[in-house]
């Protein structure tokens, strides 16, 4: 997840869930995810990575 220039990793709560379901799950903890966009997938070392990038707090 990328928020206000900071990037950190969220674990997958359930591999069967869709990307949107995971984002909704974490939105309870990170409210900025309600307006985030999904970027990806990016495959690296047998890992599928999606990024949640928020646009809140930026103008333009």
**Long-range pairs for 16-19: beta carbons < 8 A, 24 or more residues apart:** 19/50
The answer as to whether 35 is a domain residue is yes
The answer as to whether 37 is a domain residue is yes
The answer as to whether 49 is a domain residue is yes
pLDDT recorded at residue 4: 73
Domain of residue 27, residue span: 2-53
The answer as to whether 59 is a domain residue is no
Rounded-to-integer distance, Cα 49 and Cα 41, Å: 5
Which pTM value belongs to this model? Answer: 0.77
pLDDT per position as a tens digit, 5-59:
778 889 999 999 999 999 999 999 988 888 889 999 999 898 899 988 876 555 5
pLDDT recorded at residue 58: 52
**What are the tokens at 20?**
């949107």
pLDDT recorded at residue 20: 93
Q: How many domains does the chain have?
A: 1
């Amino acid at each position: 997840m990328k928020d206000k220039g900071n990037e950190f990793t969220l674990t997958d709560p359930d591999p069967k869930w869709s990307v949107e379901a995971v984002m909704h799950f974490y939105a309870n903890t990170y409210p900025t995810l309600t307006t985030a966009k999904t970027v990806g997938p990016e495959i690296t070392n047998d890992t599928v990575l999606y990024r949640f990038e928020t646009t809140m707090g930026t103008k333009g």
